[in-house]
Amino acid sequence: MSLSRAFFAVIRRDLVLALRRRSEIANPLLFFILVITLFPLGIGAQPHLLQAIAPGIIWVSALLAAMLSLDSLFRSDFDDGSIEQILLSPHPTTVLVLAKIIAHWLVTGLPLLIVAPLLAVFLGMPNHALGILLLTLLLGTPVLSLIGAIGVALTVGLRRGGMILSLLVLPLYVPVLIFAGNAVQMASGGLPVDAQINILISILLMALVLAPLPVAAALKMSIN
């Protein structure tokens, strides 16, 4: 009975499950791609405007795509009772939920990182900003999954929790959006972005350490 074995078993199980119901991966990714490709069409032939708002477009789309995928984090486990078995395991619930959140990010956050450079070029973002864009996504999207998990854990027991979930989670997403969007904007202009990156790193570390605790507590509350 080792904790690391349980941790990796949970990640592995969730990845296998995601592979078996592919729409769960495809949905947020497709949303991300669609929104970003629609912007140039909506704005028309104004390449400078597009270039100026590209960081905002990419980050807002990433944020909404992450929100869209949140409900799948605990929904099926809640409906079929797997959450009960996870809570009854002698291992600490916080570690097991962290495994679930990591698996969720691998399935919904990582694909965004892979398509983002292509879409950035599409919006006319300068090449030297691509690295920073990827870095902010790498640091920021896990935070979206971690913070979102708290909201989902609180609302998974409600029949129509979608609306409350957005209200709960969106305000907490704002700092990530501000710092990440700003970093990419500055990088496009050739300015240093160390401060923003450092803040994003600290937000990520804090979320990584602090988020699993309320998630575990909220899940325990939700199953009643």
The reply to whether 17 sits near other proteins by the rule CB under 8 A is: yes
N-term to C-term CA, the chain: 28
- CB of 84 or CB of 114, closer to other proteins: 84
CB of 156 to other proteins, least distance (A): 13
The reply to whether 26 sits near other proteins by the rule CB under 8 A is: no
- CB of 11 or CB of 152, closer to other proteins: 11
- CB of 20 or CB of 48, closer to other proteins: 20
What span, in angstroms and rounded, lies between the C-alpha atoms of 185 and 191? 9
How many other CB atoms are there within 10 angstroms of residue 159's CB atom?
A: 6
Residue with tokens 């998630």, as numbered in its chain: 215
**Nearest Cα to Cα of residue 26 among 72, 76, 75, 74:** 72
Residues present in the chain in total: 224
The reply to whether 20 sits near other proteins by the rule CB under 8 A is: yes
Cβ-in-10-Å burial (0-12, 13-18, 19+) of 26 comes to exposed
Number of residues that bind other proteins (CB under 8 A): 27
Interface residue with other proteins, options 82, 208, 214, 217 (CB under 8 A): 82
Q: Can you give the binding site for other proteins, defined by CB under 8 A?
A: 1, 5-6, 9-10, 13, 16-17, 20-21, 76, 79-82, 84-91, 96, 220, 223-224
